Structure 1
Amino acid sequence: MPKVKRVSTSSVPRPESAAAPSRPVRPPTLPWIARRRMPEGALPALALFAAVRFAGILVVILANGVRGHPLVKSLAHSWDSRWYLHIAAHGYGDKIWISPQGAVQTDWAFFPLYPGLIRALSTILPFTPGQAALLISWIAAGVAAYGVYVIGHHLYGRGVATALVALWAAMPHSVELTIAYTESLFAALAIWSLYCVLKRRWLWAGVLAALAGLSRPSGFAIALAVSLAAGYEALRQRGRVPVSLWAGAVLAPLGWLGYVLWVGTQTGDLLGGYFKVQSAWDSRFDFGLGSARFVKALLLHGGGAVYPVALVIVAVGVLLFALLCLERAPLVLVVFAGVLVLLVVGGSGSFSSKPRFLLPAFPLLIPMARALVRTWRVRPAHAVVVYSGLTAASLLFGAYVTAVAHSPL
């Protein structure tokens, strides 16, 4: 019987359909932020944002020159900026101020992340604290604007995203995105935390919310928004959610809560110490009594240009929040914007400062952005005129409050 020659099956070519599926070679795992691609249209929108805010800086410098003031000093050394720079240089507990009413105001009212970054940057690089403060604010403003675009693009597409960034750059009080204040830093952290919630990146959302809570008292708003969104998601999924969701919900309030408790330990009153510190600055939640008294006094006795404009901005903010609710925007955006509006309306303190507290509340601009896009599609010239008017008003008002008015920012 003849021997059968065995042929190795590995040497016999196989049909294409019978070939073993090849495994694609995957690139090394990177953090999700590093793997992101810039959405279409982001660069033009960010260029517009940068152009508007750079024009705002130039108008402020020009106004200072006309009035014979140092050209750029007001950008880094206005009102609260001086407190942040002092904390960066000397730490906490080194500066107090006695108000005209006799209240002892301390630097514990100011949250630590921004002065900490100023100190770190001015230590590492050959910058003065004022220069470091401005650099941080400008970079954070760009990061925040990109976050606004990404959220707008994710929810509504390129047109609304571009309009959102454009309107955010031209808000009447957007000058405070480019001075040594915490609004830019807080907005950048809070906005990207909101995006992480929309993309179900719960751990990142919690970490960013915790950092935002270390930058401003209003960090409470993003902490509550993230935690409530996580709770709603857990209810919707009947508890079948990843551990990262619970981790993000727990992490979100830790920055704000940690600083509040630390101030309590410094004052000897763990739970109430921070709120007593804020009360000395006439900053407390009084359910709108202070706002009502201000409106009454303004109507009876009038006031400088800053105060009527501030009242209009706050009133428009309330109206835009109602429209945002009608838009059926995502819960996390509604909660974040709503808490900021509530803190502005229900809190006491200088009314001239209230518009900047609404700066991070970019979801309020969603109804305006969608209306602007609709106008652009039907009557582009009208949309250009409207936006040009808003931009001109923003630049002039920003220069006025920074270089001319003596009202608190």
Structure 2
Amino acid sequence: MTSASTLPPFPPVAEPDTARKALLRPAVTAAALFAAVRVAGAAVVAVTAWTHGRHPVALLARSWDSPWYLRIAAHGYGFVERPRPGVVHDDLAFFPLYPTLIRSLRLLTPLSGGGAGLVVAWCAAAVAAGGIYAVGARLHGRAVGTALAVLWGLLPHSVVLSMGYSEPVLTACAAWALYAVLAGHWVRAGALAALAGLARPNGLAVAVAVLAAAGAAVYRSRGRVSHRLWTGAALAPLGWTGYVLWVGHRTGDPLGGYLRLQRLWGSRFDFGMGALRFVKHLLLHKEAFLFFGALTIVAAGLLLYALLVLDRAPLPLVAYSGALLVVACGGSGFFQCKPRFLLPAFPLLLPLARVLVRTARARPWHAAVPACALTGLSFAYGAYLLAITHTPL
């Protein structure tokens, strides 16, 4: 088991081609298994959508936030919507990496905006699954890596990974950035962290992980580290800070412009007070099943984080998952979206993946039962979220 104190020395030893090929083949296999479970989940969504008179492709490509990304990809920033007094929805709240990839694909292919959005999201999800496998396999072996990737595809909110959303892009950058940190490739990690910071607001968590690992390495070696570490650490926060400052400049408030936009959307960071008030409201009043599901998933995420820490996971994974939890739990507004905000926090699944692999080796049937139950829950809940409920994801 690799802990935070056993990260590789600096500078890293170059990986031979044979080692890279040995990683690539099982990573592709894990990505293929992930794709298989997501295709099955999308098929359940399609059947459910048809039975409710809705078009499945339109649901996947153009639901909730997806039209905002497609509009940015087609026309750039500058669209503002005022759905009711005191509420202003400005497209500057959406980070640019995903719509930029959509626009690039549209320029290279005859795909429509929605089709390009889905292709980008699906490819990014597969790349993310390969990176998730790589992290799990490096720490605990191939079986755990494969289980980790498949478990990520079977989360209750994993239907989002089949939609035109930016979570797959963020997770792809995050997974390979964390793998690069664990392997000691600091420049690569910093560059990927910068890209993650351009994908979503909570992409800052990747930079937090890189900086935490770099700080620990500097402390252990008493400052005698490679220039590559300093370069990676400097690159890591550039994407997120660059976009936030650009939005601030565009809105005339360099330091607070982006936060003001988020407040106008109804989302703000208040150290969890808004979330606690909403939980109290749920407990005292009858609410939709969707919100109780979100509350259960967030609570499970907190429990899994405690298990991750107790398992002495490497510092970058602990810092990354912790930052995502702080952003998700500390923000007010859109409570039903919090499980989606936690989708990139795949390291939380490491303890479950290890238990599942140990159980499968000792008693295969004991592992098959919870795996099948999780599969059924994921497919049914995903279809419910997208095709039945009318609450934004």
Give the TM-score range, shorter chain: over 0.9
> Are 1:307 and 2:291 an aligned pair?
yes
- Amino acid of the residue matched to residue 70 of structure 2? L
- Matched residues in 2 for 1:235 and 1:149: separation? 29
Consecutive unaligned residues of structure 2, counting only runs of 5 or more, are: 1-13
- 1:234 aligned to which of 208, 218, 222: 218
* Greater radius of gyration (CA): 1
Q: Which residue of 1 aligns with 2:11?
A: none
Name the Cα RMSD after superposition. Answer: 1.6
- 1:69 aligned to which of 54, 64, 72: 54
Pairwise CA distance, 1:41: 4.1
Q: Which residue of 1 aligns with 2:6?
A: none
User: SS at the partner of 1:37?
Assistant: helix
User: SS at the partner of 1:138?
Assistant: helix
Map 1:83-94; keep pairs closer than 5 Å. 83-93=68-78
- 2:344 aligned to which of 349, 360, 369: 360
Q: Which residue of 2 aligns with 1:395?
A: 379
> Are 1:58 and 2:34 an aligned pair?
no
**Aligned positions, number:** 379
Q: Which residue of 2 aligns with 1:16?
A: none
Q: Which residue of 2 aligns with 1:13?
A: none
Q: Which residue of 1 aligns with 2:365?
A: 381
- Matched residues in 2 for 1:123 and 1:211: separation? 21
Pairwise CA distance, 1:45: 2.8
- Amino acid of the residue matched to residue 274 of structure 2? G
Q: Which residue of 1 aligns with 2:259?
A: 275
- Amino acid of the residue matched to residue 304 of structure 1? A
Pairwise CA distance, 1:31: 9.7
Pairwise CA distance, 1:189: 0.4
Map 1:151-230; keep pairs closer than 5 Å. 151-230=135-214
Pairwise CA distance, 1:38: 3.7
- Amino acid of the residue matched to residue 58 of structure 1? A
Q: Is the 8 A contact 2:32 2:126 kept in 1?
A: no
> Are 1:291 and 2:275 an aligned pair?
yes
Q: Is the 8 A contact 2:156 2:377 kept in 1?
A: yes
Q: Is the 8 A contact 2:86 2:264 kept in 1?
A: no
> Are 1:371 and 2:355 an aligned pair?
yes
Pairwise CA distance, 1:145: 0.4
Q: Which residue of 1 aligns with 2:310?
A: 326
Pairwise CA distance, 1:178: 1.1
- Normalised to the residue count of structure 1, the TM-score between the two structures is 0.90
Map 1:248-267; keep pairs closer than 5 Å. 248-267=232-251
- Matched residues in 1 for 2:346 and 2:47: separation? 28
- Amino acid of the residue matched to residue 45 of structure 2? V
> Are 1:243 and 2:227 an aligned pair?
yes
- Amino acid of the residue matched to residue 375 of structure 1? T
Consecutive unaligned residues of structure 1, counting only runs of 5 or more, are: 1-29
> Are 1:45 and 2:30 an aligned pair?
yes
- 2:63 aligned to which of 78, 89, 99: 78
Q: Is the 8 A contact 2:31 2:127 kept in 1?
A: no
- Amino acid of the residue matched to residue 69 of structure 1? R
- Normalised to the residue count of structure 2, the TM-score between the two structures is 0.94
Quick one: structure 1 residues 101 and 294, their matched pair in 2 at CA, closer, same or farther if it must change by over 3 Å?
farther
- Matched residues in 2 for 1:136 and 1:187: separation? 13
Identity of paired residues, percent?
55
Quick one: structure 1 residues 35 and 158, their matched pair in 2 at CA, closer, same or farther if it must change by over 3 Å?
closer
- 2:116 aligned to which of 132, 149, 161: 132
- Matched residues in 2 for 1:395 and 1:115: separation? 27
Pairwise CA distance, 1:32: 8.1
Q: Which has the higher helix share?
A: 2
- Matched residues in 1 for 2:238 and 2:29: separation? 37
Pairwise CA distance, 1:377: 2.1
- Amino acid of the residue matched to residue 376 of structure 1? A
